[in-house]
A and B are shown apart, each in its own frame.
Chain A
Amino acid sequence: QVQLVQSGAEVKKPGASVKVSCQASGYTFTTFDINWVRQATGQGLEWVGRMNPNNANTGYAQKFQGRVTMTSNTSINTAYMELSSLRYEDTAVYYCTRGNRPASSYSWLDPWGQGTLVTVSS
């Protein structure tokens, strides 16, 4: 079955960077976009951006431009999201999730990884 497995929880100091991984299985990794969505405790869902593992094209929410980098390693079916210059308000659970229409931006998100808690604390 299609599955996304994320790396473990992280604790970082303000100003540091964090890199979260997302390993895919059960499908051809390069066929579908990987999106990243975050959720602060008790809050709603916020889209961070997406990347196409086939050509490495990315699209980021303007709020994160300049601070986020999405990459992938197709040899191990793994996507990465790196967020730099961390602030207290970046504390959240970060999810990776797959787009479902190949070569299309009109794509719902399914499945979702289990989430990675990133805590920014001094």
Chain B
Amino acid sequence: EIVLTQSPATLSLSPGERATLSCRASQSVSSYLAWYQQKPGQAPRLLIYDASNRATGIPARFSGSGSGTDFTLTISSLQPEDVAVYYCHQYYITPLTFGGGTKVEIK
């Protein structure tokens, strides 16, 4: 099973700051990695697929990069509505797996 390790566990930033979230895979997942945003009481929402493609309707401040084992989700200018838990997800090999999540807070 591919283990995805996300860091940091919690990220606390001021509005307008840049947020950088990391996801490391225990073995290569090529570019078959997605990022999801989950707010309390809601289902996950797709942000990025195939490592760097923004999903329909996702603001341009969200971007993804990486391939192989190291991936990054960047929020270029943090907004109050971005407070959520962010999960990475690999769909290269079954069982499909998810990272443990990064909680993004506003200072």
Contact surface of A with B, Cβ cutoff 8 Å: 35, 37, 44-47, 50, 59, 61-62, 95, 97, 100, 105-115
Contact = CB atoms under 8 A, between A and B. Distances in A.
A48 B93 CA distance: 14
Contacts, number: 55
B89 to A, nearest CB: 7
10 contacts: A45-B44, A59-B94, A95-B43, A95-B44, A97-B44, A108-B46, A108-B89, A110-B49, A114-B43, A115-B43
B50 interface: yes
Contacts of A62: 95
B92 to A, nearest CB: 7
Contacts of B95: 47, 61-62
A46 B98 contact: yes
B43 A45 contact: no
Contact of A112 (B44, B55, B94, B101): B44
Interface in B72-91: 87, 89, 91
